[in-house]
Structure 1
Amino acid sequence: MRNFAAFPLLALPVLVYNLVALTLDGGFSAVDAHARMTEGLFTIRMASNVDWPVTLGDLFLAAALVVLFIELLKSTTSRGVAIVNHALSMILFIICLIQFLLAPAFATSTFFLITLMVLLDVLAGFIVTIVAARRDIDFGGNDG
C-alpha cells in the first residue's frame, strides 16, 4: 500500500489520453486528435431546455479534476513517501510538457489543461511539504 501512495494518480488520465492518441491513425503524429476530443458523445437536457453536448475532452477533464482533488488531499500528508510522489509528479509533468510541445496528437486544449493540472499538483505538493516542514521546525524550536 505504501508504494501505491507514491504513485501520482494524475498519470491515469495522462495514460488514458495516450491510449486514445495511439489508437488514432498515425499515433503520436495524428492531427485529428482535436476532432476526437471535441466530438460529441452524448447530450444532456438542461433545466433551461437547452442541450449540453458532452465531449470526450469534457470527460477527460472532469476525471482529471477529480483525480487532482485526490492528489491535493494526498499532498497534505507529510510522510517520507510524499517526496517520492513529488519526484514522480515532476517526471510526469516533464513527460506531459514534451508530449504537448512535440507530438501533434497532444497539441489539444484538453491535454494542455491536463498538463496544467499535473503542474499544479507538483507546485501544490512542494508548497504543502515546505509549509508542513516549516511548521514542524517552528514547533520543534519552542522546546527549549
Structure 2
Amino acid sequence: MFVLGFPLLLVPFAIYNIVAFLLRGFVWTDPVFQVRMISQAEFSLSWGDLLVIVGLAFLFLEIVKATRMSRRSVVDHLLSLLLFIAMLVEFLLVPETATATFFLLLAIVFVDVIAGFVVSLRTAQRDVSFESVARGSE
C-alpha cells in the first residue's frame, strides 16, 4: 500500500537538510566506496551520488502513485508542487544547498511534479466517454 497524500521525495530532501545543517563540514563528494573495474578503471560512488539514487527510487514510486486515480491523488500532487516550491526557494536562498546534489534532487522533484500532472491528465482523458445522441428520434 502506497502512502497517499505524502510526497515520498520529502525523504531525500529531509536527509539532505539533516546532513547539511547538523553535520557542518560534510562533503557530498566524499566517496562512499571505490571499486576497481575489470578495465582497471577506478569506480567511485560519492554520498551525493547515493542520495540522488535514493531520490530516483522514490521518483519511481511517486510515478507509480500518480497512476492511481482518487481524490487523494490531487492532494498528493499539490503537496509535491509545494515541496518543489520549498526546495526551489531553499536552493536560491540558503548557501548550504548550493550544491550539485541538491540541484539534482530539485530536478527530480520537478520531474515528479510534471509527470504526476501529465499521468493524471492522461488517465482522466481515458475516463471521459461521450455518448452519441440520435437526432432523428425526437
Q: TM-score, normalised by structure 1?
A: 0.85
TM-superposed CA distance for 1:24, in Å, is 3.4
Structure with higher Rg: it is: 2
Correspondent of 1:123 among 101, 104, 114: 114
Distance 1:98 1:58 in 2: 22
Distance 1:44 1:86 in 2: 39
Gaps of 5+ in 1: 26-31
* Bigger mean CA offset, 57-66 vs 128-137: 128-137
Distance 1:143 1:67 in 2: 43
Distance 1:82 1:61 in 2: 25
Distance 2:47 2:132 in 1: 55
Correspondent of 2:64 among 73, 78, 84: 73
Correspondent of 1:94 among 74, 85, 89: 85
Residue 74 of structure 2: aligned partner: 83
Distance 1:143 1:16 in 2: 54
Are 2:46 and 1:47 equivalent residues in the alignment? no
* Structure 1 moving runs of 4+ over 6 Å: none
The count of aligned residue pairs is 133
Residue 9 of structure 1: aligned partner: 8
TM-superposed CA distance for 1:134, in Å, is 1.6
- Larger helix proportion, structure 1 or 2? 1
Query: Which string of whole-angstrom CA distances, capped at 9 and with x for unpartnered residues, describes residues 103-132 of structure 1?
Result: 111011110010111011011111111111
Residue 28 of structure 1: aligned partner: none
Distance 1:47 1:104 in 2: 40
Gaps of 5+ in 2: 134-138
Q: TM-score, normalised by structure 2?
A: 0.89
RMSD between aligned residues: 1.6
TM-superposed CA distance for 1:41, in Å, is 2.2
Q: Kindly, what percent of the aligned residue pairs are identical? A: 40
